[in-house]
Amino acid sequence: MNNVPPLTAAKRTNIQALVARAWAVEHPALTMAETAALKATIKRQLHEQNAVLVAHYYVDGALQDLADESGGCVSDSLEMARFGYHHEASSVIVAGVRFMGETAKILSPQKRILMVESQAECSLDLACPADEFATFCDAHPERTVVVYANTSAAVKARADWVVTSSIALKVIQHLHEKGKKIIWAPDKYLGDYVQRISGADMLLWQASCVVHEQFKSAALRGLMKQKPAAKVLVHPESPPEVIALADVVGSTSQIIAAAKNLDATEFIVATESGIFHKMKQAAPNKKFLEAPTAGKGATCESCEMCPWMKMNDLQRLNNVLSVGNNEINIAPAIREQAARSIRRMVEFGRG
């Protein structure tokens, strides 16, 4: 039986409850003077603790700037982990969501890994519990298991390969050419995208990103008519009808590169809005428009923000460095098994 377990109503309700809880978190506004003073304090703490800050493109711009200013890194999840691994710092502070901290710990088990916000989740991770996923994989032992980076350490430990959006298609094409049948998890839209292009035999886990699934093709077409010269940049976690309208489909890093390198001066962007901070730095003379997420009865035209990414802020970072909480720990057996699937991806990328 090849049926993939559906995303149950109970699981969806739980994710929605966690989303609501994340949105309810308050972020007291800081004046410019308060921001500058807080950043100075954090930089001192980072230096004193031999720590480095790695931040995802989707977190608050102040955290991205601080990472750059303090010798840290702003990137996607894999590059964040790689940076922390190669950096001489003994502690890595992760501004992002939980699976990113776990990935950093998997690659750097000897280092102290702290999360800016320990409750920062990912809907893709939440919708793919390790026990349920292992049961499904056991039912299809003939298939190669490929999981997206947006998964827990335990799910990565069950996988043969871990991939990011920038390398997913290449890995699936490679496996398809070798005649491999595949189990893919957790993002059904990214899985559908690589399946359609590669032609691979894939069973797709039924999860999606709460941000990217909100982009609407009809509204996007309307904006494209208003801005006919604009290029459309879409992350492959988006629905297929939105991907079909894209000029460029790519990961966060690939979207930023496209904005910088294409000759267009205006872009419609379908991914989490935190990326606009780095895009404006990379291409300061270009204009970026948020792709619409509005549907019937919507309260905003574009609501493409991850509630968990937005939980990360300077105040929480300062608290973590002051107290030393939110440390990531992974059972050695899980970490060692997960490291194998991650290293396989890293070695493939080098090839």
CATH number of the domain where residue 48 is located: 3.40.50.10800
pTM over 0.85: yes
293 confidence band (pLDDT: 50, 70, 90): confident
Average pLDDT, the chain: 93
pLDDT at 294 over 80: no
277 confidence band (pLDDT: 50, 70, 90)? very high
For the ranges 11-25, 36-50, 323-337, the lowest mean pLDDT is seen at: 11-25
Catalogue the E-assigned strands of 130-251.
Answer: 144-148, 161-163, 182-185, 202-204, 231-234, 248-249
Q: What is the DSSP letter of 327?
A: B
Among the residue ranges 3-17, 126-140, 148-162, the one predicted with the least confidence is 3-17
242 & 284 share domain = yes
Contact of 36 with 17, CB cutoff 8 Å: no
Confidence of residue 315 (pLDDT cuts 50, 70, 90): very high
Helix (H, G, I), strand (E, B), or coil: what is residue 142? coil
* 338 and 199 belong to one structural domain: yes
Containing structural domain, residue 147: 124-209+333-350
Q: Which stretches of the chain are assigned E, i.e. beta strand?
A: 51-56, 73-75, 91-95, 112-115, 144-148, 161-163, 182-185, 202-204, 231-234, 248-249, 266-270, 287-290
- The set of residues, in sequence order, having a beta carbon less than 8 Å from that of 73 and lying 6+ positions away, is 52, 53, 54, 55, 67, 79, 80, 83, 84
Q: Looking at per-residue confidence, does 48 or 348 come out higher?
A: 48
Helix, strand, or coil (residue 92): strand
The residues pairing with 51 across neighbouring beta strands, listed in sequence order, are 91
**Residue 2: per-residue pLDDT:** 62
Tell me, yes or no, whether 185 and 153 share the same domain: yes
Domain assignment of residue 303, yes or no: no
Does residue 66 contact residue 53 with C-beta atoms inside 8 Å? yes
